Structure 1
Amino acid sequence: MSYSINLGSWQSIFAVPSDVVDKHLKLAGGAQLKVLLWVLRHAGSPFEAEAVGEALNMHPADVKDAMQYWVETGLLAVSGGTFSPAQTGPGRSSREEAVPAAQPAAPQGSPVSSIAQGENRPTAVTQRASEPPKASRPLSRPQKPDSLFVVKRAQEDSDIAFLLQEAQVILGKTISNGDSATLLMLHDTDGLPVDVILMLLQYASSIGKGNMRYIEKTGIRWSDEGIDSLELAERKIRQLDQSQKAWSAVQRLLGLERRSPTAKEAQFADRWINEWRFSEDLIREAYERNVDAKGKFSFPYMNSILERWKKEGVETLEQAQNEKKPFQEAAGGEQAPSYDLEAYERSSIFDD
């Protein structure tokens, strides 16, 4: 009698290094793990980034980025376009074997020409601990750290590991190596605490701007404004919410198309609604005078009308309408006033 064992799906298996689970499972993103598993499954067969991308529904550039991640973490080594397990020599870690010494920095955004491109990527990065107290922001932003340095920081600092994990939860997606580097720079270079960065991520996500470009730009601005605590971050977010509500009100009152305001437009709206606290009736009256006098709407011109009302203590629609009466009555008398309000408002002094 002959015997056999039916292993089913276990009939075909492949090996996965224990280090993947022991050291990298916590920090590696879904894209890096998917690419690694695909590559290990097809070990011994040549492959192109395009083929891996097609199989995993990923862009080839993301495939190259994922492979570079495993090179920089020391799991794989690459030579002449061929990947192999990183060899650890006496006195050296696999990470040191896998990543060559830092080379002169290449321009950011340079294209990756092959799946092995980037093995000589610079790893040098200036740490905040060694920097002197910054008096002003440098003219050029430092180069972002590579994925090796990001992983090292996460392993050394549980707060950084928590930041990178929570960022994926808040944004609802796996963040890329570049995104992780951006978040690390907001902490290490710009000095934002982890809890402030997480609050920024939550705010950006809540207004539909969870892209890393907006997050980085806003984070740098917060750093310049000295927002380094939860209290200051909450105050800033309340201010931003009020500014957004002010713009929405002005947009509605003036019949403007729905769009994001320019910085100057947002400043005008915030000033009229939140700082000067004009009523909707006064804002509408100023708009009508603007259009009557100039034939078109102009933010600076309308601001000049409201600014004059603020200085003169005009707080109601009745006061605004009555201010013209003395001039109109005087104009019907024997002597016209030397100061013509309507002519003043028609002047071009406040044009764009």
Structure 2
Amino acid sequence: MEYSVNHGAWNAVFAVPSSLVDQHIRLAGALQLKVLLWVLRHAGERFTPEMIAEAVGASAADVRDAMQYWTITGLLSETAAQDDDAPSAAAPAPQKSTADAHTPASLSEPAANPPARQAPAGDAAQTAAASAPNFSAPAAASAASPAAAPNAAFPAPRRIPKPDGLFLAKRVSESEELSCLMQEAQVILGRALSPGLSSGLLMLFDDYGLPADVILMLLQYAKSRGRDNTSYIESVGKSWADEGINSHERAEQKLRRLDETALAWRRLQTLLGIDRRSPSRREEQFASAWITDWKFSDALIREAYNRCIDATGKMKLSYMNKILEGWHLKGISTLEAAQAEQQAVRDRNRKKAQPRAVTYDLDALEQMDLTSLPK
């Protein structure tokens, strides 16, 4: 079978950036590609996300997410809407020439002085107007971006607001390290980053001080556990920042500890017949203490389980922990020692429970002077 070009279709053409194929053809999703092609086809026209959604057969929310992806990658830029209600079609952001390209910054250090985000000023009406997205040329985006200022303290206070799309696009365009982080994150997760996750990664990088390589290690861990959603990644990232995990070495130690805890829990599940499920934090702590820290054998853990069942009629890890913690403090590390300790306790209790025999010295009573007895 042979193919030929239909020249009639070439009467109307539009430009597509080379970087779309060179850099994004593997990472971008089908909807993101459709949205960008539609936007490039209607460059210079006025449109709304609803118009694109109707054309490509998707929801307006998904269209906004797709456009946010191209904003983050730099092919589109986002500015605050002006007087018009509908945003204009986006123009592709200018590509760096080969002569201007340089090696990406090392992923071992966090951004030293990331620009500070500023809250929008004005009344509610001005705020609502400023929140409407308008995709246009990069020069307009730069003019509408918040003023850059170095952070006064490090790390910043907790409960930090997540950056918006404008600030995110500005930071990605300014920092080669941050841009590399976003691209590597997509490779690790195997999908395009949502606006929420992109903002969350920027927050961990700028505000919580996690280096880029630590964030990538966090993403690999979340992916391996099948919990690579935005809320889990942000929660773990904040926890790592609070624990001072701000270097590659500390992150490796943390991940090693997490792996040991996961192995301990799986061993405990098998030993006690616990259903296959994710453990609670307290259950993880018990498993880690018994198996990783105290290094109890399966026989000792099973003995603690049997005593728990005998005493309470059901499995209670907190009750088992009291037994095992007591053995740990007493230095009991074998089943024989635990059974001997239990037998010693039983003997003491039995001895205390026996009645004391009453005896009398008859000779002493006979010699006792009855007159000396108290009246």
Query: What does residue 86 of structure 2 align with?
Result: 82
More displaced, 77-86 or 174-183?
A: 77-86
Q: Secondary structure at the match of 2:163?
A: coil
Residues 72 and 148 of structure 1 are in contact (CA less than 8 Å); yes or no, is this contact kept in structure 2? no
- The Cα of 1:102 is off from its aligned counterpart by 6.3
What is the rounded CA distance, in whole Å, between the counterparts of 1:46 and 1:160 in structure 2?
32
Q: What's the RMSD between the two structures over aligned residues?
A: 4.0
Compared with structure 1, are the counterparts of its residues 155 and 67 closer, same or farther at alpha carbon in structure 2 (3 Å cutoff)?
A: closer
TM-score by length of 1: 0.73
- The Cα of 1:80 is off from its aligned counterpart by 3.8
- The runs of 5 or more residues in structure 1 that have no matched partner are 88-100, 108-112, 338-352
Query: What does residue 238 of structure 2 align with?
Result: 220
1:182-232: per-residue Cα shift (whole Å, max 9, x none)? 111111101011111111111211221222221111111111111111111
Residues 186 and 219 of structure 1 are in contact (CA less than 8 Å); yes or no, is this contact kept in structure 2? yes
Residues 196 and 233 of structure 1 are in contact (CA less than 8 Å); yes or no, is this contact kept in structure 2? yes
- The Cα of 1:40 is off from its aligned counterpart by 4.0
Q: Secondary structure at the match of 2:227?
A: coil
Compared with structure 1, are the counterparts of its residues 278 and 334 closer, same or farther at alpha carbon in structure 2 (3 Å cutoff)?
A: closer
- The Cα of 1:325 is off from its aligned counterpart by 2.1
Question: Which of 171, 193, 214 is equivalent to 2:211?
Answer: 193
1:133 matched to 2:154: yes
What is the rounded CA distance, in whole Å, between the counterparts of 1:72 and 1:149 in structure 2?
14
Compared with structure 1, are the counterparts of its residues 231 and 43 closer, same or farther at alpha carbon in structure 2 (3 Å cutoff)?
A: closer
Q: Secondary structure at the match of 2:87?
A: strand
What is the rounded CA distance, in whole Å, between the counterparts of 2:258 and 2:62 in structure 1?
35
Identity of aligned residues (%): 46
The 5-angstrom pairing of residues 167-178 of structure 1 reads 167-178=185-196
- The Cα of 1:29 is off from its aligned counterpart by 5.7
The 5-angstrom pairing of residues 80-119 of structure 1 reads 80-84=84-88, 103-104=120-121, 117-118=132-133
More displaced, 243-252 or 143-152?
A: 143-152
What is the rounded CA distance, in whole Å, between the counterparts of 2:326 and 2:340 in structure 1?
15
Residues 246 and 274 of structure 1 are in contact (CA less than 8 Å); yes or no, is this contact kept in structure 2? yes
- The runs of 5 or more residues in structure 2 that have no matched partner are 92-117, 136-143, 356-375
Higher relative contact order (CA 8 A, sep 6+): 2
In structure 2, what residue type is equivalent to 1:140? R
TM-score by length of 2: 0.69
What is the rounded CA distance, in whole Å, between the counterparts of 2:147 and 2:278 in structure 1?
36
- The Cα of 1:277 is off from its aligned counterpart by 0.8
What is the rounded CA distance, in whole Å, between the counterparts of 1:6 and 1:311 in structure 2?
84
Residues 32 and 66 of structure 2 are in contact (CA less than 8 Å); yes or no, is this contact kept in structure 1? yes
Q: Number of residues paired by the alignment?
A: 307
**Larger Rg computed on CA atoms:** 2
Question: Which of 210, 225, 229 is equivalent to 1:207?
Answer: 225
The 5-angstrom pairing of residues 1-352 of structure 1 reads 7-15=7-15, 33-41=33-41, 49-50=49-50, 52-53=52-53, 55-56=55-56, 58-67=58-67, 73-74=77-78, 79-84=83-88, 103-104=120-121, 117-118=132-133, 124=146, 129-134=150-155, 138=157, 140-141=159-160, 143-329=161-347, 335-336=353-354
Residues 46 and 87 of structure 2 are in contact (CA less than 8 Å); yes or no, is this contact kept in structure 1? no
Q: Secondary structure at the match of 2:276?
A: coil
